[in-house]
Copies of this chain bind each other. A is one copy, B any other.
Amino acid sequence: MFTRSSRQLRLVAAFVLLCSWSAIADDGMWTFDNPPRKQLKELYGFEPTQEWLDHVRLSSVRFNDGGSGAFVSANGLVLTNHHVARGQLQKLSSPQKNYVADGFYAKTLTDEIKATDLELNVLVGMEDVTSRVLASVKPGMSAKEALDARKAAMAQISKESKEKTGLRSDVVTFYQGGEYWLYTYKKYTDVRLVMAPEEQIAFFGGDADNFTFPRYDLDMAFFRVYENGKPLNTEHYLRWKTSGAVDGELVFVSGHPGSTNRLQTYAQTEYQRDCAYPMRLKSYERRLALLKTYAARGAEQARQARGQIFGIENGLKASGGEYRGLLDKTLMAKKAAEEKDFRDRIAANPEWQRQYAWAWDTIAATTERSKASLRYKTFRQISGRAFTFATTLVQYFEEIKKPNGERTAQYQDANLESTKFRLFSPAPVYPELDEAQVADGLAHALAELGPADPWVKIVLDGKGPSDVARELVRGTQLADVAVRKALFQGGEKAVAASQDPMIVLARKLEPLNRDARAWEEKNISSSSARASQAIGEARFAVYGKSTYPDATFTLRLSYGTVKGYPMNGTVAPSKTTLYGLYDRSYSFDQKGDFALPQRFIDRRASLDLSTPSNFVSTCDIIGGNSGSPVINKAGEYVGLIFDGNIESLPGRFLYTEESNRAVSVHSAFIIESLRKLYDAGPLADELEGTHQLGLAPAGQK
């Protein structure tokens, strides 16, 4: 629908000769089976070959923690963002060595440190299984039966694929059920940390500069993938281009945008505006206040909390920007106009009208019902990894008994390995932090849901939130990975007999959770899924596959131009330089988030300050794209996506080319800093292809 609208705009532009070229939008997060060939040819005169597309896809890496990356050498070197690596850096840290704050560099292969629980995926296969999934739904089935049938078919397809190929096999839904695809991934779990700079420069400017441009961040981290104890011989990786891309150049982003809501109906968008966002923002603010209070207790507490503070501030700023987009009457008017166009076209065809027109009302009705369950979903939560372990252990043995297709996704055969990988992660748990967060969460659940709420009754059992939190967190043994392993090996009986207070509580809550899931499925998911499915099919009928699906943390290709934009009364350039980094630091008297790591002060004279630091492009991205490579026509690595500008945040609902920009680290900044500030010449050599770890260079297709 979006692309369609853009086309119409373009036609108008051609006639009135008043609109600038930019009225043709560079929007779209395209699946690799359906790249925007037509747009690329018409707008840029570029026709990517299948070989180009395959090479880019197979060089792209998914970080299952929620980010993207790319192979950048023949020897398994992967480049992503510091903020994508942050969780792993934190898990490898201790009160004695803080890799998040101080950075890390492995001078030799033997110095590289294995990440505790990092899983990387490379998309090696894509197969359209739409007809097989849809065939599972028989005439006369209820919405619930249809949903179950589809889920069972999807689980079966995953399972078969996993058994046949040994690969991670996900059946993914596109266009809200318009298409189903089997995505198979090569999975890597021996991933080692190679290099990360100090957080101070990776996240220079802190929360203030987050989601803005001009920017000067070195938001990078290097890992190396190992297979059989040796660096992976990477057949597909992106050749490095230190000079980067120039103003006006066509570039691509290949990565894993997490989610967008562009194809939602107007009623769903209104629900986001009126219910979901206000509740989410309130919850973020509450959690942030608690974390900041906790961090104020001392340096070690600050270290423990910093990761979550970082995440919530990020979420708060992102959601705040998205929310402002929803409050913007122009944006909502465009959404309304798009829906009207779509529904008018449906109405103009009696057969379509009969098949699809009902779906909008159904969506509106289920959306209305969602309001009731939103409060429960928001407040019936117990924080911390320990309770997540307990829930996994309790649910595992319940779920595993069911047929594969009826299980919750994480317990389906195809996903069990990943679930266990997380369950047995040796990453540290912070009990003091957990206790503070559990107590705070319970206090708010009590305040918001009241003491008579069944969930509150079970959890508090007449006691106060602080007491319950203390008993749970101090009483549990689940922080110890050996205890989790023993319970798991002991099986259903061991879990059922466990007196660990977290396990006991998880057991008590499970029936309530089950009921809630069932209610949700019966009253919301099934009918909403059927209606969305109908709208997805309608979209295909009306617009064909000229559109792209909403983001789903699957691999996508975006395209765009390196280009500045109008900003706050002036123009933002397409790039910044290292001069700007020092300007921003000195402008704030080198204080707080604007202080520079000492090496940037000591070695300033060695730097060429006109080196580009960050740059922007019109590429259409969103959270999950962090760490994605920016690639030129030649398939070379020119930049490292790490953010969007503030103007891009409403992009969750609507892309606007005039000012929506993807923000990247320039490839020249990476090389300049590795060589001149981090004494990491060999790593720079490996990127630039002049040094191959003493290993035979891998062939490049």
The answer to whether A586 and B582 touch across the interface, beta carbons within 8 angstroms, is: no
Q: A579-B580, A582-B577, A583-B576 are in contact. Are A570 and B247 (CB under 8 A)?
A: no
A522 at the interface (CB under 8 A from B): no
The CA-CA distance from A588 to B246 in the complex, in Å, is: 11
**Binary flags per residue of A572-594, CB closer than 8 Å to B gives 1, else 0:** 01111101101110111100000
The answer to whether B569 and A321 touch across the interface, beta carbons within 8 angstroms, is: yes
A610 at the interface (CB under 8 A from B): yes
CB proximity of A323 to chain B, nearest CB, Å: 13
Which chain A residues numbered 562 to 614 have a C-beta less than 8 Å away from chain B?
Answer: 567-571, 573-577, 579-580, 582-584, 586-589, 609-610
**Binary flags per residue of A316-337, CB closer than 8 Å to B gives 1, else 0:** 0100010000000000000000
The answer to whether B610 and A570 touch across the interface, beta carbons within 8 angstroms, is: no
Segment at the interface with B among A203-211, A275-283, A668-676: A203-211
The answer to whether B571 and A579 touch across the interface, beta carbons within 8 angstroms, is: no
A212 at the interface (CB under 8 A from B): yes
Which chain A residues numbered 538 to 573 have a C-beta less than 8 Å away from chain B?
Answer: 567-571, 573
The CA-CA distance from A609 to B580 in the complex, in Å, is: 11
Provide a sorted-by-A list of 8 A–B residue pairs whose CB atoms are within 8 angstroms. Answer: A205-B570, A211-B569, A577-B583, A577-B587, A579-B580, A579-B586, A580-B584, A582-B609
A214 at the interface (CB under 8 A from B): yes
The CA-CA distance from A610 to B579 in the complex, in Å, is: 10
Task: Please tell me which one of the listed residues B211, B567, B587, B609 contacts residue A573 in the complex, with CB atoms under 8 A apart.
Answer: B587
The CA-CA distance from A576 to B609 in the complex, in Å, is: 17
A423 at the interface (CB under 8 A from B): no
A291 at the interface (CB under 8 A from B): no
The answer to whether B212 and A569 touch across the interface, beta carbons within 8 angstroms, is: yes
Given contacts A205-B570, A212-B570, A577-B583, 15 further A-B contacts (CB under 8 A): A209-B570, A212-B568, A212-B569, A247-B589, A568-B568, A569-B645, A573-B584, A573-B587, A575-B587, A576-B583, A577-B587, A579-B580, A579-B583, A579-B586, A586-B610
A646 at the interface (CB under 8 A from B): yes
Chain B residues with CB below 8 A from A211, complex form:
569
* Chain B residue at minimal CB-CB distance from A317: B569
CB proximity of A664 to chain B, nearest CB, Å: 15
3 A-B pairs with the lowest CB-CB distances in the bound complex, closest first = A569-B646, A580-B583, A573-B587
Chain B residues with CB below 8 A from A645, complex form:
569
Which chain A residues numbered 386 to 422 have a C-beta less than 8 Å away from chain B?
Answer: none
Chain B residues with CB below 8 A from A580, complex form:
579-580, 583-584, 587
* Chain B residue at minimal CB-CB distance from A579: B583
* A interface residues (Cβ-Cβ under 8 A, vs B): 205, 208-209, 211-212, 214, 247, 317, 321, 567-571, 573-577, 579-580, 582-584, 586-589, 609-610, 645-646
Chain B residues with CB below 8 A from A589, complex form:
247
Chain B residues with CB below 8 A from A646, complex form:
568-570
User: What secondary structure prevails in chain A residues at the interface with B?
Assistant: mixed
The answer to whether A582 and B579 touch across the interface, beta carbons within 8 angstroms, is: yes
The answer to whether A610 and B584 touch across the interface, beta carbons within 8 angstroms, is: no
Chain B residues with CB below 8 A from A208, complex form:
570-571
CB proximity of A362 to chain B, nearest CB, Å: 37
Chain B residues with CB below 8 A from A205, complex form:
570
CB proximity of A464 to chain B, nearest CB, Å: 28
The CA-CA distance from A528 to B191 in the complex, in Å, is: 79
Chain B residues with CB below 8 A from A321, complex form:
569
Task: Please tell me which one of the listed residues B317, B577, B587 contacts residue A586 in the complex, with CB atoms under 8 A apart.
Answer: B577
- Specify which of A575, A580, A583, A609 lies most central, judged by the most chain B CB atoms within 10 Å of its CB: A583
* Chain B residue at minimal CB-CB distance from A576: B587
Chain B residues with CB below 8 A from A571, complex form:
208
Chain B residues with CB below 8 A from A573, complex form:
584, 587-588
The CA-CA distance from A555 to B588 in the complex, in Å, is: 33
Chain B residues with CB below 8 A from A567, complex form:
568
Chain B residues with CB below 8 A from A317, complex form:
569
Chain B residues with CB below 8 A from A588, complex form:
573
The CA-CA distance from A575 to B587 in the complex, in Å, is: 5
Chain B residues with CB below 8 A from A576, complex form:
583, 587
The CA-CA distance from A568 to B646 in the complex, in Å, is: 7
* Chain B residue at minimal CB-CB distance from A247: B589
- Specify which of A573, A576, A586, A587 lies most central, judged by the most chain B CB atoms within 10 Å of its CB: A587
The CA-CA distance from A39 to B579 in the complex, in Å, is: 40
- Specify which of A317, A586, A589 lies most central, judged by the most chain B CB atoms within 10 Å of its CB: A586
Chain B residues with CB below 8 A from A209, complex form:
570
CB proximity of A663 to chain B, nearest CB, Å: 12
Chain B residues with CB below 8 A from A586, complex form:
577, 579, 610
Chain B residues with CB below 8 A from A569, complex form:
211-212, 317, 321, 645-646
CB proximity of A247 to chain B, nearest CB, Å: 7
The CA-CA distance from A212 to B317 in the complex, in Å, is: 24
Chain B residues with CB below 8 A from A583, complex form:
576-577, 579-580, 583
CB proximity of A665 to chain B, nearest CB, Å: 15
The CA-CA distance from A646 to B584 in the complex, in Å, is: 20
CB proximity of A302 to chain B, nearest CB, Å: 22
Chain B residues with CB below 8 A from A247, complex form:
589
Chain B residues with CB below 8 A from A582, complex form:
577, 579, 609-610
The CA-CA distance from A247 to B594 in the complex, in Å, is: 15
CB proximity of A370 to chain B, nearest CB, Å: 30
The CA-CA distance from A440 to B588 in the complex, in Å, is: 50
